[in-house]
Amino acid sequence: MMEICLYGAGAAVRLGAAALTLAWTHSVEKTRWEEDWRLEAAGLVIAEARIEGSGAGMEPQGGAKFDGRWWRWRPALPPVPQIVLRRSRVTDDWSICIDGICRPAGAIVPPETDPVTMAPCS
C-alpha cells in the first residue's frame, strides 16, 4: 500500500493513509486554509484547496467557487515528490487530518522539529 510519511529530525512517521488534509491558520488574517492531498504513483497530488476568506496573499485562484463558508478550487499543479512544512513559534502548528480526524503536527512529530517533510514512505 502506498502511504504518506512525515520526515523530520532523522525520523520517519507513517501516517497509515494515502490521502489527507493539510490545514493551517493564516498568521495575519487568522483564516483557515485547507488542502486535500493524495498519493499517486507520480507523487503527491493536490485534489482541492479551500480558504474561509481572502487577504494578505491568500486570494482564491481563478475558478474558485464560494459555498457559503469556503472558497474552493482545484489548483493546477503537477504531482510533487514532497511538501516541506516550516514551523513558526508565532503561529499555530500545521494540522494533519485523516478520515476527518485532525491532529496538530506536534502530536505526530516533536513540536521542535523543523522542517517537516511530507512525502511518500520509502
Instruction: Compute the distance between CA of residue 45 and CA of residue 77 in angstroms, rounded to an integer.
Output: 8
28 pLDDT more than 90: no
Say if CB 115 and CB 87 are below 8 A apart. Answer: yes
Q: What is the mean pLDDT of the chain?
A: 90
pTM: 0.90
Q: Name the residue range of residue 9's domain.
A: 4-120
**Which of the pair, 77 or 57, is modelled with greater confidence?**
77
For residues 78-107, average pLDDT:
93
* Domain count for the chain: 1
Confidence of residue 63 (pLDDT cuts 50, 70, 90): confident
Q: Are strands 83-85 and 116-120 parallel, antiparallel or unpaired?
A: antiparallel
Cell numbers found for residue 98: 485523516
**Of 7-16, 60-69, 73-82, the least confident:** 60-69
What amino acid occupies position 51? Answer: I
Cell numbers found for residue 74: 482545484
Instruction: Compute the distance between CA of residue 28 and CA of residue 91 in angstroms, rounded to an integer.
Output: 9
In the numeric block, the cell 488542502 is attached to: 35
